Structure 1
Amino acid sequence: MVSIADPMGTVSIQSRLGLAPGTPPLVALRGVAKYFPGVIANEDVDLAIYPGEIHALLGENGAGKSTLMNILTGIYQADAGEILRDGETAEFSSPIDAIAAGIGMVHQHFKLVNAFTVAENVHLGWSQTPARISARTLEARTQKLSQDLGLTVNASARVSDLSTGEQQRVEILRVLARDAKVLILDEPTAVLTPAEARELFVALRAFTARGNAVIFISHKLDEVVEISNRVTILRGGRKVATEWTESCTEKSLAQMMVGREIVLNNLRERPKGATIGAPVLSLKDVSLKSHGAMLLKNVSLDLHAGEVLGIAGVAGNGQRELSHMLTGLAVPSSGQVHLDGVDVSMSGARAMAEAGVGHIPEDRLHAGMSPALSITDNTVLREYADAPLAQGPWYIPRQALHLAQEIAKLAEVMVPDFAMPARNLSGGNQQRLVARREMRIADKVLIAAYPSRGLDVGAINTMMHYFVELRDRGVAVILISEELEELVNLADRIAVMFHGEIMGIVPGEGVDIEDIGLMMGGRRNT
């Protein structure tokens, strides 16, 4: 057996976690390094995960968290260092090897087959799935697994009909059904309601109470402080520290992550002469009906030049449909959309973009980018037909690369190879590129749907200043967010949505958070 050195002290860790003396980590990384052309993804990283603990992994976007977990789950092979399982050296040449060793990961972007049922997804590719089995038996097996593991699911439901929180439970069930002892969760609460996040935390505590462990990757520092026993911080691919969470604060964690103090102050302060102007984009009694369901109902909004209008509400209450309506991706069933006083209800997304409406979509990877295309192609997507990228019918790749490099520099994204697929970028870097790309065309309006999802505190700070920059240039900004603190810090007004309706619009400054919460639950603001 190989001994594990840990700067926090093995005895102390075992004692504080209630483990017997000599208990080895369930899994450990020692001296791990991974290099890509021109990039140090990880270097000399040590990490030990013990039975019964929830271990948070923090770091800025691009700090090396995903690469490290991809090494642990067999997707990547380390260039140096080793993996230890129960104190013994282990090698994982694929995710199949990792899951066979009891290590499973639920990624930020789910890997489910939407057309399949829950039971079919749980059993897909599982060695223990019988070659011939009826749908009823498959569902019964799945239902028993869900009861045994404390993850309630409807085994017969089609995945496409599930909420995001329900889909996440299916992903976790798939991993745990294969006897995972170490569960890796990448941004698990990014798309969950507060109630769904609480349910997840209950399930995680029950899972670790059985002697298992969780690696919890998140940028929500309040949740990290609440749920984790220990926390490891990466910066620039290297480990900065491993600490007991109880000795940390959100502020101290943020400083260790980014190496400086993060301050989100004075976002409301406008430069001299910058004022809120006339309405530039308006919805007038807009409703949207699809497959018999009313997704938006009699929504009326005026968005003024030079203001930030926040949209609050629990996810799934019409925010996505609202963003689609404002950007021409959806056509109202009734009512009108006006841009500069002109009815644009039927204009479509291309016309709205050409008229100066930018859009940071909710799903940055699949709606904001084409993941298989190069970073260059994705970065210049809005301007590929315009000079200097195009001369008549001819596309000029050299000019496209120059523009992509310019946008990446403004977005503060380090790109080792602009020809590589956009899916190879970290989620935060994808988001920053999409944001800067859309800002270039947002002469009048920018619609930003959940722009800070999955971003670290430093990147969120940068993103908010993007919006301030646009606002001060007289551009109207709609900021759709589940983070009320984000809206209160920046928005001039906040509209609250519930079941596709506007419950009320309140001033952003000095607003009562409790009032917003009540409106999010369905109470109208009178």
Structure 2
Amino acid sequence: MPSLTETSGRGAGPSFGAEPPFVHAQGISKRFGAIQALDGVNFEVARGEIHVVLGENGAGKTSLMSVLTGLYQADAGEILVDGRPVRITSPADALRLGIAMVPQHVELVNNLTVWENVILGREQGGLFLRRDHQRQQVAELAQRYDLPIDPDAVVASLAAGQKQKVEILKMLHRQARLLILDEPTTYLTPQEVDSLFGTLTSLVQRGMTVILVTHKLRDALRIGNRLTVMRGGRVVAAGVPASETDELQLVRWLIGGQDETGQLLEAEPLPPLGSEAAPVLQVENLSVQVPGRVALRDISLTVRAGEIVGLAGVAGSGQRELAEALVGLLPTAGGRVLLNGTDITAWPVAHRLDAGLACIPEDRLREGILPSMPIVETFVLGLHRYLFPDGRYRIGKALEAANRVIDEYKVKTPHAWFPTAALSGGNVQKVIVGRAVQMCSYHRHPALVAMNPTRGLDVRTVRDVHHRLRQVASQGGAVLLVSEDLDELMGNCHRIAVIYQGRVDAVFDGPDYDRYQIGEYMLGRHEREAG
């Protein structure tokens, strides 16, 4: 294994023998205002490899890929393709060189078929589309690269993993030789991840080259031939063979130290759950309608005192609607919501907060803060009833409470009057989590609904958020953790409920979860088998 000394991306990098690397970026720098996104980055990718680029949020990995694909132009540095200097000023330039990005969020037209999406923007035949001919070309291309996709399937009917393969097929149709995938496993089930990795391996065997950008260590070690790690806009480990490193070493490179690395990887034990723990948050036959569809159908779920229950499901299965119905943002069409035995179904949001229902919203910037407010005022939103029961706002008490959270949660800010919107995403989330945990502390048996609370956060902050959720549970609270990251749920929940098309069809007891069984329910395959 490599030593703990960082391997600099400013050096010569790994050797590929006499053949030049497919793509070689030298001394790439890019600044956005006061932020140095890329600082003299050297990066190489060889033909016929899967090269994984790892980094925390803000490390510079997406900025580097954006330079390679022409979305950004570097302030300094040079790019060589096949050993020749090139100028990439647009995605069209990159595509002419065989470089293409597969977007993290699919950009397909839902009401068109697979083959229509693939040719969209590259139709041939002038005034005559020659539909049969072009459909046949797409079908043959899919067969050549072992992509089992029905060219006549309407995209709206496809699962997330299949839509991703349509995006890959689009780039192959545009004669890409290097595919860049940005966080491709974020919204996939275990089965879909297996299928994607099989597809990427097959593509490489057929002559393609792949760069995979991720923050998931296990995915990186599983699929990558070589790994490059970025931190703070620089490369700190360049082209390391996956067989010569492990998760512990990768975390050391990611965080820039080793004192707490073992703690970050080691799972914190869940608080014990008593057999007689009382229900805190109960959902009984809950249904919710939104314009044009039924979002939730007869959902029943219980979270007990001291318990963390996870809610798993592919994106769009009803998770958001359930969370909004629980906190009072969406009206119900049927059923009940109970908090400590009291029916709160018809209560407004403020009354639910007063009764001990707290929330960590999904979109921290749009739903968790008011951008113009400083940290101190953001923190007291919702807490003012507890901090100032007589209705009189006292700035000294607000500052004391805000500074306590800033110190305890290690929020990186010069002072409590700093604009909340100017903080990094991770520090904004620390303020929001601190506020929710503080609200829970005023109740004996509070309920906390946490919507994707660690999305986009660094390793340390993820660990801290998980610790705070356990803290609420250990003090008698009930936590509903909603996440599209199955690993997060399996590592932090006493039980996991699976939601599919607005219904909860299964609840699994921990801690020995079967990820593939959960994945089957997330994809709805249990229904098709039963039918």
Normalising by the smaller structure, the TM-score range is 0.7 to 0.9
Q: Tell me, yes or no, if the aligned pair for 2:191 and 2:516 is still in contact at 8 Å.
A: no
Q: Tell me, yes or no, if the aligned pair for 2:280 and 2:477 is still in contact at 8 Å.
A: no
Give the alignment's TM-score, normalised by structure 2.
Answer: 0.74
Against the structure 1 CA distance between its residues 323 and 136, is the aligned structure 2 distance closer, same or farther, given a 3 Å change threshold?
farther
Q: 1:99-114 alignment to 2 at 5 Å? A: 99-114=95-110
1:501 lines up with 2:504 in the alignment: yes
Q: How many angstroms apart in 1 are the aligned matches of 2:108 and 2:407?
A: 32
Q: Tell me, yes or no, if the aligned pair for 1:193 and 1:315 is still in contact at 8 Å.
A: no
Cα drift, residue 63 of structure 1: 1.0
Q: Tell me, yes or no, if the aligned pair for 1:282 and 1:338 is still in contact at 8 Å.
A: yes
Q: Tell me, yes or no, if the aligned pair for 2:57 and 2:458 is still in contact at 8 Å.
A: yes
Against the structure 1 CA distance between its residues 57 and 378, is the aligned structure 2 distance closer, same or farther, given a 3 Å change threshold?
farther
Cα drift, residue 184 of structure 1: 0.7
1:209 lines up with 2:211 in the alignment: no
Query: Residue 301 of structure 2 aligns with which residue?
Result: 301
Q: Find 1:229's aligned residue among 225, 229, 252.
A: 225
Against the structure 1 CA distance between its residues 24 and 353, is the aligned structure 2 distance closer, same or farther, given a 3 Å change threshold?
farther
Q: 1:126-525 alignment to 2 at 5 Å? A: 126-134=121-129, 136-137=131-132, 139-242=135-238, 243-258=240-255, 259-260=257-258, 261=261, 262-268=264-270, 278-287=278-287, 298-312=298-312, 319-347=319-347, 357-360=357-360, 364=362, 369-370=365-366, 376=372, 412=411, 444-453=446-455, 455-472=457-474, 474-481=476-483, 486-495=488-497, 500-504=503-507, 506=509, 508=510, 511=512, 513=514, 517=518, 520=521
Q: How many angstroms apart in 1 are the aligned matches of 2:159 and 2:364?
A: 21
Query: Residue 394 of structure 1 aligns with which residue?
Result: none
Q: Percent identity?
A: 35
Q: How many angstroms apart in 2 are the aligned matches of 1:479 and 1:472?
A: 15
Secondary structure at the counterpart of residue 10 of structure 1: coil
1:45 lines up with 2:51 in the alignment: no
Against the structure 1 CA distance between its residues 171 and 345, is the aligned structure 2 distance closer, same or farther, given a 3 Å change threshold?
farther
Cα drift, residue 338 of structure 1: 1.9
Against the structure 1 CA distance between its residues 291 and 148, is the aligned structure 2 distance closer, same or farther, given a 3 Å change threshold?
farther
Q: How many angstroms apart in 2 are the aligned matches of 1:374 and 1:117?
A: 42
Cα drift, residue 265 of structure 1: 4.2
Cα drift, residue 43 of structure 1: 1.2
Against the structure 1 CA distance between its residues 122 and 233, is the aligned structure 2 distance closer, same or farther, given a 3 Å change threshold?
same
Q: How many angstroms apart in 2 are the aligned matches of 1:339 and 1:159?
A: 41
* RMSD over aligned Cα atoms: 4.6
Write out per-residue CA displacement over residues 468-510 of structure 1, whole angstroms, 9 at most, x where no aligned residue.
344456543211346555445433444455672343453x45x
Unpaired runs of 5+ in structure 2? 1-9, 386-397
Q: How many angstroms apart in 2 are the aligned matches of 1:386 and 1:376?
A: 18
Query: Residue 391 of structure 2 aligns with which residue?
Result: none
Against the structure 1 CA distance between its residues 516 and 98, is the aligned structure 2 distance closer, same or farther, given a 3 Å change threshold?
closer
Against the structure 1 CA distance between its residues 122 and 442, is the aligned structure 2 distance closer, same or farther, given a 3 Å change threshold?
farther
Q: Tell me, yes or no, if the aligned pair for 1:190 and 1:453 is still in contact at 8 Å.
A: no
Query: Residue 85 of structure 2 aligns with which residue?
Result: 89
Q: Tell me, yes or no, if the aligned pair for 1:267 and 1:465 is still in contact at 8 Å.
A: no
1:32 lines up with 2:34 in the alignment: no
Secondary structure at the counterpart of residue 186 of structure 2: coil
Cα drift, residue 9 of structure 1: 2.4
Q: How many angstroms apart in 2 are the aligned matches of 1:153 and 1:71?
A: 31
Amino acid at match of 2:304: H
Q: Which moved more, 1:173-182 or 1:340-349?
A: 340-349
Write out per-residue CA displacement over residues 63-122 of structure 1, whole angstroms, 9 at most, x where no aligned residue.
111111111111112122111111111111122211222111123233334455544443
Q: How many angstroms apart in 2 are the aligned matches of 1:515 and 1:49?
A: 33
Q: Tell me, yes or no, if the aligned pair for 2:306 and 2:474 is still in contact at 8 Å.
A: yes
Against the structure 1 CA distance between its residues 254 and 516, is the aligned structure 2 distance closer, same or farther, given a 3 Å change threshold?
same
Cα drift, residue 410 of structure 1: 5.2
Cα drift, residue 173 of structure 1: 2.2
Against the structure 1 CA distance between its residues 384 and 133, is the aligned structure 2 distance closer, same or farther, given a 3 Å change threshold?
farther
Secondary structure at the counterpart of residue 201 of structure 2: helix
Unpaired runs of 5+ in structure 1? 12-21, 389-398
Amino acid at match of 2:470: V
Paired residue total: 486
Q: Tell me, yes or no, if the aligned pair for 1:189 and 1:197 is still in contact at 8 Å.
A: yes
Query: Residue 7 of structure 2 aligns with which residue?
Result: none
Write out per-residue CA displacement over residues 301-360 of structure 1, whole angstroms, 9 at most, x where no aligned residue.
232355322235676765455434433455444321123444333557687567664545
Against the structure 1 CA distance between its residues 117 and 486, is the aligned structure 2 distance closer, same or farther, given a 3 Å change threshold?
same
Secondary structure at the counterpart of residue 39 of structure 2: strand
Q: How many angstroms apart in 2 are the aligned matches of 1:119 and 1:175?
A: 13
Q: Tell me, yes or no, if the aligned pair for 2:190 and 2:516 is still in contact at 8 Å.
A: no
Cα drift, residue 55 of structure 1: 0.2
Q: How many angstroms apart in 1 are the aligned matches of 2:72 and 2:35?
A: 15
Q: Tell me, yes or no, if the aligned pair for 1:282 and 1:302 is still in contact at 8 Å.
A: yes
Q: Tell me, yes or no, if the aligned pair for 2:13 and 2:44 is still in contact at 8 Å.
A: no
Q: Tell me, yes or no, if the aligned pair for 2:365 and 2:371 is still in contact at 8 Å.
A: no
Q: How many angstroms apart in 2 are the aligned matches of 1:178 and 1:301?
A: 48
Cα drift, residue 169 of structure 1: 1.9
Cα drift, residue 30 of structure 1: 0.8
Q: How many angstroms apart in 1 are the aligned matches of 2:109 and 2:379?
A: 30
Q: How many angstroms apart in 1 are the aligned matches of 2:115 and 2:508?
A: 43
Give the alignment's TM-score, normalised by structure 1.
Answer: 0.75
